[in-house]
Amino acid sequence: MELTTVWFILIAVLWTGYFFLEGFDFGVGVLTRTLARDRRERRVLINTIGPVWDGNEVWLLTAGGATFAAFPEWYATLFSGFYLPLLLILVCLIVRGVAFEYRSKRPEENWQRNWETAIFWTSLLPAFLWGVAFANIVRGVPIDADKEFAGDLLDLLSPYALLGGALTLTLFTFHGAVFTALKTVGGIRDRARRQAAVLGLVTAGLAVAFLAWTQAAHGDTASLVTAVVAAVALLAALAANHAAREGWSFAFSGVTIAAAVATLFLSLFPDVMPSTLDPAWSLTTENAAATDYTLTIMTWVAGFATPVVLLYQSWTYWVFRKRIGVQHIAPDHPAGGAPGSGASGSGGRDDGGAPDGPGGPGSPEAPGGPEAPGDDLAGVGGGRPQGAGS
């Protein structure tokens, strides 16, 4: 097989990894609004992905970096062409990362609520926009003879692209719901299954429409097979969900995502970005690729590194394999109560839904917030010399 084809497949694998993994953590982010009933439940949801979302996101950076190295022209045309949607995605990912890390760092109601709102929107928007982007890649965009994007924002918002966005949004949310059912205990687990049933049906409808459209306009035999696999896997996921077989349900929703990504890439091949202006101007695995020398080095490094990455990332999931419920959430552990002290040190703070923070109206850094808890917490650290020898 030619190296350019190998790398086309590897890029598809990286995107599959990204959508499989970050797909459920986007979904969980959306569910913080639709499934969680109060702050404790929202925290359960956030903590199901807490230890892993950052590692999941690196699949995107790797896909981006690998595209840059293996298909420089694709990287250049895609990211300069999809400028504003990509800007929106990046802003979401920036805010989202900070939101996970900072949300629990202050006890005030306003602070936490604002970051929770941020988590919802910054999960929902990329989940939608990635579908729009990939639908556009498959459908083709105006690309001129110099391999430059020659369209505008409206070219990116066709009905097909919007349908693609709706599909990824519901598919990822479904994937997130079955993940939640797999990772939680108590009432939230049962409700996650019920919500997954509804989401799965909506996803199935959208998936059939989108995959049929893709198949009709761009597909071949191979993509037909993967499209059918995606549809069957989705139904299997729904059935397993109905039977409360949560592990199977999650596995099948993962297969759905992988098969859907495969369908898109098979429909695309050998183009990587078709031009709607003139097929001769399309970017292909040949005319967008790096040299054989670079691809050879990349293949060796990826061949060794990727299995190692899969190994230690899988190990992470195994370490955090325990289901969690509201009883496992550590009470708020603001300053002074670093990991561990929450359980006994600064316990007793009611972190239910009731607005009890002293934050007052306004932004996360509302006046009144910073000082009051700071003082009350200074006592936790204490002025007494501690430690050495004690």
Residue 149 three-state SS = strand
Q: Closer to another protein at the Cβ: 62 or 203?
A: 62
The CB density around residue 143, as the number of other CB atoms within 10 Å, is 22
Stretch binding another protein (CB under 8 A), from 64-72, 157-165, 241-249, 352-360: 64-72
150 binds another protein (CB under 8 A): yes
Tell me the helices (H) and strands (E) count for the chain, helix number first: 12, 2
Query: Rounded distance, CA 87 to CA 81, Å?
Result: 11
Q: 228 near 139, Cβ under 8 Å? A: no
**Distance between first and last Cα of the chain:** 66
Residue 19 Cβ vs another protein, minimum distance, rounded to whole Å = 17
186 binds another protein (CB under 8 A): no
307 binds another protein (CB under 8 A): no
b (16+ CB within 10 A) / e for 90-124:
eebbeebeebbeebbebbbbbbbbbbbebbbbbbb
Q: Closer to another protein at the Cβ: 58 or 232?
A: 58
Q: 156 near 238, Cβ under 8 Å? A: no
Site for another protein in 266-285 (CB under 8 A): none
Stretch binding another protein (CB under 8 A), from 174-182, 244-252, 257-265, 340-348: 340-348
Count how many Cα atoms sit within 13 Å of the Cα of residue 378 in the half-sphere of its side chain.
6
Q: Closer to another protein at the Cβ: 111 or 252?
A: 111
The CB density around residue 174, as the number of other CB atoms within 10 Å, is 32
Residue 116 Cβ vs another protein, minimum distance, rounded to whole Å = 11
Residue 288 Cβ vs another protein, minimum distance, rounded to whole Å = 9
Among 343, 354, 360, 362, binds another protein (CB under 8 A): 343
354 binds another protein (CB under 8 A): no
Q: Closer to another protein at the Cβ: 5 or 299?
A: 299
Stretch binding another protein (CB under 8 A), from 62-70, 162-170, 205-213, 218-226: 62-70
101 binds another protein (CB under 8 A): yes
